[in-house]
Structure 1
C-alpha cells in the first residue's frame, strides 16, 4: 500500500471495502487493479462441443418386441439418433432404464457412453458347479443357509466381517488417477460383497443337457449362482465420468444422458481404464464369494462359468472396429458361455452364443422387469411372496417384495424370443436364495 501511505487509515479501510465489494469497477485502475483482481471470481472456461441428433433413428433389430414397453423402445430410438451410433439392438428382456434402456445394445464409433454402460459397471453372473447331488442339498439345507448367512454380505454399509485378499487390490491402475486412489480403501472394504436391488447369491440345482458345453454327464448338480457388480468403486467411477461427459458433450435435453467421451481424448482413455478396472473388480468380488462358500461347505467346484453385462467392449462388426455397449445384455458371440437368470422360482439358463450379428452378438441378461420396483411394492406383499416361495420349495434369506417373481417377465417367453441368439445347455433351479433386505 505504498501508494497510499499519506492517506488516513480510515480512508484506506473504506477504499479497500469499496474494492472488495465492487472489484470490477477497479480492475483497470493502475494502482488498485492488482488488488481488485484478487476479488474477481475467475471462471474457468469449459471446453465443450454441441451436437445435433439425426432426424430419424437408424433401423435396429428388436427381439421379442411385443413384450417390450413403449418407453424402452423410445429410449432406444433416441440412442439410434446419435451421430456416433453405428448399430443397435433390443433384447427380449428390455425395459425402461436410464439413458440406454436395460436390454439395449449399442455400437458406437470410437466413443464410450457412460450411461450406456450404467452405474453398476461390470455387473455380472457367476456359476460354480459341484460334484454333489440333489440329495446333498436336501440333507444339508441348514448348513447351506448358514454358509450364505455368514459368508456373504449385502447392501451399501460395507463388506464382510473378515478380511478379503485378491490380486485386484494390487493393480497399478489404482494409482493412475486421483479418483481411483481415493476409491482404493472402499474397494478393499467391499471386496467379496454384493449390492442391493436384484443382486443375489443362491444355492440351487443345475440340470445339464446331454452333450453340454461343460462336458459333464447329463444330470443334476449342486451349484452356486451369484449376480452382483463393482460395488461403490464402479458407482463412483460412473458418476464422475457421466458428469464430465454431460459437461463436455452437449446434446438436446432429451438426449443429455447419452453424452459420450471420445476414446481419442485423455478423459475418454481415463474412463476406459477405470471401467475395465471396475469390471475386473466385479469379477474379483465373485471370485471371493464363490471361494468363501466353497470353503464353507468343504468342496471344490468342478466347473465355473461367468459373464459381464453393463459394460463396453471394443469389437469388430461388419469389418469395422466399434465400441459395443451392453446395458443389461449378455455377450453371445459364437461359442461364448453365459448365464441368463430367471427369478426366485423360475429357472436360469446356461447358454452358448450363436454369434448373431443382428443382435451385435448379444442376448438377454435375465427375464427383465414387467413392473418397476415401485409398482411391485404397490401391488404385492411380503406375505404373498413368502407363500409363493414356500409352495415352490425355495427358501429366501433377506429380500424384498420388489423382487417378487410376478414383477418379472416370463423367462420361458424371453428364451423363446432369442432362440436365434443362444443355445441352451442347462437349467439352474434356485433353492436357497440370499438377497439384500432393504
Structure 2
C-alpha cells in the first residue's frame, strides 16, 4: 500500500481537510478558506488541499472539492477549463539556434497574447481577423454556444472566435523547453479566455442571487451554489462543460500555431506527435470515488488517476514536470497544478526588484521588464518542495526546463 503524506485537520461543523503540504508554506488565510468550504453541507468525505494551495476568490486555489447534489460556481472560478498542453518534438537541443530570440519573436507573432483594451482600440490579445483555421475550429463549438445564449442572451457578446487560439495574460504562458535528455518540447498554459470569464462571472452572480432569494446563509457569499435538480444547476453544468471544451480547443489551436512558428525558425524537419498532454486544472466533472458518483471540482488541481499523464509547471525560471498519476484515493486522484504563489501580484511588484527578476530568469529568452515582476520566480513556492510533498500522488516522467518563455 502506498504511504500517505497528507496532514489531517478536523473542521468544526464540517468535513475534515487532508492537505499534502509538508515542507511547503501555507498561508493562514488559505487554511481558513479551506475550512469554510469544508463546512458546506453537501461536501463528500473531505476536502483535499494540494501543496500549491493559496488563497483564491470563493474557493482556495489548489483545492479539490467533492460534492453530492450541488455545485459551487466560484469554486470552479472564472478561468473555466484553464490548463496545460505539452508536445514533445523530435528535435534535440543541438538543433536549436544559439540565439533563441527569433523563436520567441515567432511565437509572439503566431499567438496573440496580453491585453490592450481601450475605447476604439483593438485588443492585441485577440484576433483582428481570425485565420480560417480558427474560424473552422469555432464551428465545432458554435451550435452548443447558441443553445446557451438562447437561454442567457447576456452571454452573446462575449469574446468567442476572436479569443480562440489566444494566450491571455497573468500566469498564462507559451514556452520552449528541454527535458532531461535534451529533447525539445513546446508547452503552454491557458483557458477559456473572455467567454469562459463571462460564463463564470454570470453564473457566480446568479448563484448568489438564488441564495439571497432562498434566504440561505453561507460562511462566505462566494460559496453560493446551485442544488442539483434545479434549472440553474443544469444550465451551469451545460455552460461549464462547453467552456471546458473551448479551453481544450484553445490550447490545441495555439499548439498548432506555435509548432508552425517553430518550423519557420528551424530548417530541420521535425514532428511533434511523440507525446502530447492536454489537461484542465480549473474545472468540474463527474467521477466515481469511494464507490459513489460525485461531482469533483478541481480549482488549481490536476487529475492524477492511476496511469494518467499530467503537467505541473514551475514559474518562469523554474523546472516543470510531466507526471503520471498514482491514483491516490485520498486526494480524489488529484495533484497540484503548479508551484503556487507565496506572494500576491501586488506584493511581488513591491518586494522583488528588476535585477532579482533578471538574475532568476538567466538562461531563459523571456521578458525581463517591470511588467512581468508579478510572475517572477520568487513570487512562487519552490517547485522541488511542492513535488516532494506530493510524491504519493504522482511520479515524475519528464523534467522540463524552459529556454524560451512568452508571457502576456
For the aligned pair, the TM-score class normalised by the smaller chain equals: 0.7 to 0.9
Match of 1:293 in 2: 258
What's the CA shift string for 1:133-154, capped at 9, x where partnerless?
Answer: 1112244623312211211222
| 1:198-347 correspondence to structure 2 within 5 Å | 198-207=171-180, 219-250=181-212, 251-252=216-217, 254-298=219-263, 299-302=270-273, 303-347=275-319
Give the distance between the partners of 1:220 and 1:168, measured in 2 at CA. 36
State the structure with more CA Rg.
1
Q: Which runs of 5+ in 2 are unaligned?
A: 1-10, 116-122, 264-269
Match of 1:27 in 2: none
Please say which of residues 253-262 and 193-202 is displaced more in the overlay. Answer: 253-262
| 1:369-408 correspondence to structure 2 within 5 Å | 369-390=341-362, 393-397=363-367, 400-408=372-380
**SS in structure 2 of the partner of residue 427 of structure 1:** strand
Give the distance between the partners of 1:237 and 1:133, measured in 2 at CA. 41
Give the distance between the partners of 2:154 and 2:13, measured in 1 at CA. 43
Match of 2:163 in 1: 190
- TM-score normalised to structure 2 length: 0.86
**SS in structure 1 of the partner of residue 86 of structure 2:** strand
Match of 2:14 in 1: 57
CA shift in 2, pair 1:347/1:55, >3 Å: closer
Q: CA deviation at 1:185?
A: 6.4
Give the distance between the partners of 1:185 and 1:248, measured in 2 at CA. 23
What's the CA shift string for 1:114-162, capped at 9, x where partnerless?
Answer: 0110110000100011100111224462331221121122234241355
What's the CA shift string for 1:368-416, capped at 9, x where partnerless?
Answer: 00111111011013343123323xx111137510011011001000000
Match of 2:266 in 1: none
**SS in structure 1 of the partner of residue 248 of structure 2:** helix
With CA pairs under 8 Å and 6+ residues apart, which has the higher RCO, 1 or 2? 2
Match of 2:89 in 1: 130
Please say which of residues 54-63 and 97-106 is displaced more in the overlay. Answer: 54-63
Alignment equivalent of 1:117, drawn from 44, 51, 76: 76
**SS in structure 2 of the partner of residue 97 of structure 1:** coil
Alignment equivalent of 2:113, drawn from 154, 161, 165: 154
Tell whether the 8 Å contact from 2:158 to 2:194 is kept in structure 1 after alignment. no
Tell whether the 8 Å contact from 2:20 to 2:389 is kept in structure 1 after alignment. yes
Give the distance between the partners of 2:378 and 2:107, measured in 1 at CA. 25
Give the distance between the partners of 1:180 and 1:62, measured in 2 at CA. 41
CA shift in 2, pair 1:252/1:263, >3 Å: closer
**SS in structure 1 of the partner of residue 296 of structure 2:** strand
Q: How many residues align?
A: 370
Match of 1:6 in 2: none
Q: CA deviation at 1:220?
A: 2.2
Q: CA deviation at 1:253?
A: 5.4
**Runs (4+) off by over 4 Å:** none
Match of 2:37 in 1: 79
CA shift in 2, pair 1:121/1:425, >3 Å: same
RMSD over equivalenced CA pairs, Å: 1.9
Alignment equivalent of 1:176, drawn from 126, 141, 147: 147
**SS in structure 1 of the partner of residue 343 of structure 2:** coil
Tell whether the 8 Å contact from 1:332 to 1:422 is kept in structure 2 after alignment. yes
Q: Which runs of 5+ in 1 are unaligned?
A: 1-53, 208-218
Tell whether the 8 Å contact from 1:151 to 1:160 is kept in structure 2 after alignment. no
Match of 1:28 in 2: none
